[in-house]
Amino acid sequence: MVKLIQQFVSCCRAAGLRISTAEILDCLNQLQLIEVTNELQFRATLRANFAKSMREVNHFDRLYHLFFHEMRVDPADMTQSAALAEQIRQVTDILRKKPHDNPMYDAVVDFIAGNPLEFLKEMRRIQTASDSDAQPTRFNFGPLAERFNILIQITSTAAAIAQLLQDPSLDISSTARNDLTLHFTERFNTARSIMLYEPRPGDKNTKKVKAYEQRLKELGERPFSSFTRQELTEMREAIDKLVRKLKNNVSRRFAVKHRGNLDVKKTIRSAARYGGVPVEIKYRHKPLRRSKIVTLCDVSGSVWAAARFMLNLLYSLQECFDKVNSFVFIDDLTDVTAVFEHNEINEAIRFVLEEADVHYNAATDYGVTLRHFQRDYMDILTKKTTLIIVGDGRSNYMHPEDAILGQMRERCRRVVWLNPEPEQIWGTGDSEIKAYMHQCHEVRQCSNVNQLIAFIEELVL
Amino acid sequence: MDFKSVNDVHERLEMAGYIPSKEISTVVFLAAATQKPVLVEGPAGVGKTELAKAIARSLDRELIRLQCYEGLDEAKALYEWEYAKQLLYTQMVKDRINDIISHTATLAEAVDRIADQEDAFFSDRFIQPRPLLQAISSAKPVVLLLDEVDKSDPEFEAFLLELLSDFQVSIPELGTRKAISIPFVLLTSNNYRDMSDALKRRCVHLYIDYPQRETEMQIVRLKIPGIEEKLAADLVDAIRRIRLLDLKKSPSISETLDWAQSLLALQINELTPEVISETLNVICKYQIDMEKVRKNINKII
């Protein structure tokens, strides 16, 4: 049993679940307490110990099914598979000895022989790999080419086995040959399905907020992109008003903030008025925890309209946050924190539009942006940071690098994605928002001012 | 009164008015047997808090609940010194203090004498225990529920670690307090943010989803005894179809029960589009959701 669990854990780890030794020990201890032969209980125990968040449950279920159902033959024909075991070993040994120069070949043969570890590791590597090498032309070919390699290896191994099973010199009876063919076909099918499968954590736990509050009647419901110049000015005034109101609310909240410990100094001082009797007790003030904000704004065409209003609101409310770091990007990341700190907001927005070092003619590339962020700015994300990304997730069919967003999620408190596109067209064409959605805590449609205000309010209060 | 086996858990939770899935009873049994906390996740309204209450009932233990929120700190969760009481007592026993130091020759000696009495002021008498301290200092074992632990700050989460792994807390003035009896701890989370690995490692994890059709039927039958079998079946099917619509807030089990209750009160025993339309405000909490359901009413029946 211990060995079985260990094997399973190695597979889970290879497929990207993080499982500690302590958890394995706990699990083994607990297995002694239940009826191991009852599969529901067995699975529940493994799941309770190895999949420790909602996000991992789906992934775990898939691995569990693969390991205990697809790779092991059903208990019903356990005897049959035991009979076949010797032949399987024999065949795969011959295959292993064949001259080859592709490491993937070994992994495929191992997989066929019943050890999926290497195969899963390789798949995991491809799924999370990023195109870190600088390429002369940007292309989304890396992962595709690697998958293609695996497909070729699977096909060639399958062909080799078919040939081998035809070979009359092999000491295997004809019925066994038939069984073996069936068995191997099943395994190859499994291998192909794993290759095609994207282990994305379910997004049913990602909060999807749809704001319906209609605060500003007409302008509030207009999409950002359709504002005229005059309406922009009106909008700004409306936003100013709103900001003032929000600030009032916030300061009121600060006024009734909960008290901290006893302030001895102040209490004694006030006691002096009553002849040393501490009539009034003074408490220390405890400032409300303020969060840090990091924003990544796509400033290409359509999205910019939404991004500018968000930045406008965020910087008007700057005193509600510890620090606001902002970045803009199209095909690369530019840090504009300083611009917004030293200039008036509208001035800063103009600066970003006209003078900042942003290639407005380039095609949007989220992958490069995330890679750049990972390389240079990862350390500004802390457990107090809320990361806000404004963008449509349209990456022009470039590598989306959603694994990097996953790493960023692990470092910060919350990841919120604001998408100015209507939800019906998410995931269509080159939109990678579905891939990113799995890595976010919250995804919001944000195409007009009312939706934006609803979000900012939630953030500040 | 501990649980004896997985089936025992199942039966006793049912007796306490909670219908668990096999997975729930397995995890609860394991957590009870190994004295580990359970981290419960799942959509709102699937009965995470109810599970804690049911466990408390079935084990015949008291339930101590701590609602977590941003800014929750040790003073609110663990203990607080009652400053006012301390000061009041100091005033009242002022004369006694004077007596104690009246025969001392030097200031240092006086301070020493007062220091000897320190324990009188930093003792249990002046401590106001909050839920966590209550839970571990209770003589009878309790069920401790930390609700929405993901809403608390990372600092508080770090502080929880000591409590959850060793069931002890340190109070600087009094020293380390060990649990007299180990409480059964449940933490619930709504995925507002990720919990730290360290916390997750100390817990067994339980994911509760919307129940299977059969389970939901059982729950309706259990909670609303007077309901007709056919109506209950129609109702559960309708709710399950409403859940498939893309709503702002999907109806959960509590809504199913509310709905069944109100249909019963209205003495309705057949579901028609009109009935659904009229009683929709029990199931949907947002205007926009109601409109959506009304539009798709043909799909629901």
Question: Which residue's structure tokens are 């009242």?
Answer: B92
A414 touching chain B per CB within 8 A: yes
3-state secondary structure of A223: strand
> In A, which residues are within 8 Å of B91 by CB distance?
277-278
CA closest to B150 among chain A residues? A413
CB contact under 8 A, B193 and A413: yes
B216 CA: distance to closest CA in chain A (Å): 19
Chain A CB contacts of B191 under 8 Å are: 53-54, 205, 207, 441
Tokens read off for B19: 């219908």
What's the confidence (pLDDT) of residue B57? 93
Q: What is the pTM of this model?
A: 0.78
Cβ atoms of B256 and B236 closer than 8 Å: yes
On chain B, the residues whose CB falls within 8 A of the CB of A288 are: 71
Q: Given this model, what pLDDT does residue B166 score?
A: 84
Q: Are residues A441 and B192, on separate chains, in Cβ contact within 8 Å?
A: yes
How far away is chain A from the Cα of B22, in angstroms, using its nearest Cα? Answer: 7
The pLDDT of residue B55: 94
Cβ contact (<8 Å) for B205 and A260? no
Element (H, E) at A348: helix A345-354
Distance from the first to the final alpha carbon of chain A = 52
The answer to whether residue B119 neighbours chain A at the CB level (below 8 Å) is no
Between B61 and B254, the more confident residue is B61
Asked whether the beta carbons of residue B83 and residue A54 sit closer than 8 angstroms, the reply is no
> Confidence band (pLDDT; 50, 70, 90) for B30?
very high
Selected residue of B30, B48, B69, B188 to mutate for chain A interface (largest A Cβ count, 10 A): B30
| C-beta atoms of A278 and B206 within 8 A | no
**Residue A346, strand partner residues:** none
Which tokens in the block code for residue A199? 């282990």
pLDDT over 90, % of chain B: 19
Q: How large is the average pLDDT for residues B205-217?
A: 87
Q: Is the sign of the CA dihedral B130, B136, B142, B147 positive or negative?
A: positive
Which residues in chain B touch residue A51, judged by CB atoms under 8 angstroms apart? 205, 207
Nearest CA distance, A366 vs chain B (angstrom): 24
Return the bridge partners of A268, or none: none
Question: What is the C-alpha to C-alpha distance for residues A64 and A58, in angstroms, rounded to an integer?
Answer: 10
Q: How far is B202 from chain A (nearest CA, A)?
A: 8
Q: What is the pLDDT of residue A76?
A: 46
Quote the pLDDT of residue B297.
83
Query: Which regions in chain A score pLDDT beneath 70?
Result: 72-83, 129-143, 170-171, 198-222, 225, 250-260, 286-290, 302, 461
pLDDT score of A286: 65
Q: Which residue of B has its CA nearest to A47?
A: B205
B191 with A54: Cβ contact below 8 A: yes
Residue where the block lists tokens 């004369």 = B95
| Smallest CA–CA distance from B43 into chain A, residue | A205
Cβ distance of A53 and B288 shorter than 8 Å: no
From B173's Cα to the closest Cα of chain A, the distance in A is 15
- Number of neighbours of residue A224 by Cβ within 10 angstroms: 23
* For residue B53, pLDDT beyond 90: yes
- HEC sequence for chain B: CCCCCHHHHHHHHHHCCCCCCHHHHHHHHHHHHHCCCEEEECCCCCCHHHHHHHHHHHHCCEEEEEECCCCCCHHHHCEEECHHHHHHHHHHCHHHHHHHHHCCCCHHHHHHHHHHCHHHHCCHHHEEECHHHHHHHCCCCEEEEEECHHHCCHHHHHHHHHHHHHCEEEECCCEEEECCCCCEEEEEECCCCCCCHHHHHHCEEEECCCCCHHHHHHHHHHHCCCCCHHHHHHHHHHHHHHHHCCCCCCCCHHHHHHHHHHHHHCCCCCCCHHHHHHCHHHHCCCHHHHHHHHHCHHHHC
Within 8 A of A33 by CB-CB distance, chain B residues are 29-30, 33-34
**pLDDT of B67 higher than 50:** yes
Whole-angstrom Cα distance, residue A120 to residue A115? Answer: 10
How many Å lie between the alpha carbon of A49 and the closest alpha carbon of chain B?
A: 6
When CB atoms are compared, the residue of A22, A33, A49 closest to B33 is A33
| Binary contact (B201, A23; C-beta < 8 A) | yes
Q: What is the pLDDT of residue B186?
A: 94
- Is B204 in Cβ contact with A44 (below 8 Å)? no
User: How confident is the model at residue B106, as a pLDDT?
Assistant: 86
Written as six digits, the tokens of A178 are 């038939």
The pLDDT score that the predictor gives to residue A80 is 57
Encode pLDDT of B115-148 as tens digits.
887 777 778 888 888 999 999 888 899 999 999 9
Mean pLDDT of the region B60-88 = 85
Query: Would you call B30 and A258 a contact, using CB atoms and an 8 Å cutoff?
Result: no
Tell me which amino acid residue A446 is. Answer: C
Chain A touched by B42 (CB under 8 Å): yes
Contact B153 A18 (CB under 8 A): no
Residue B10 above 70 pLDDT?
Answer: yes
Q: Is A385 near chain B, with CB under 8 Å? A: no
Question: What ipTM was estimated for this complex?
Answer: 0.81
DSSP state of A321: S
- The reported pLDDT for the residue numbered A74 is 46
Could you read off the pLDDT of B195-210 as tens digits, one per residue? 888 888 889 999 988 8
8 Å CB contact of A207 and B191: yes
Contact A289 B153 (CB under 8 A): yes
Residue of A53, A262, A281 with shortest CB distance to B200: A53
Q: Which residue has the higher pLDDT, B40 or A254?
A: B40
DSSP string, A97-156: HS----HHHHHHHHHHHT--HHHHHHHHHHHH----S--SS--S-HHHHHHHHHHHHHHH
Do A281 and B84 lie within an 8 Å CB cutoff?
yes
Nearest CA in chain B to A415: B193
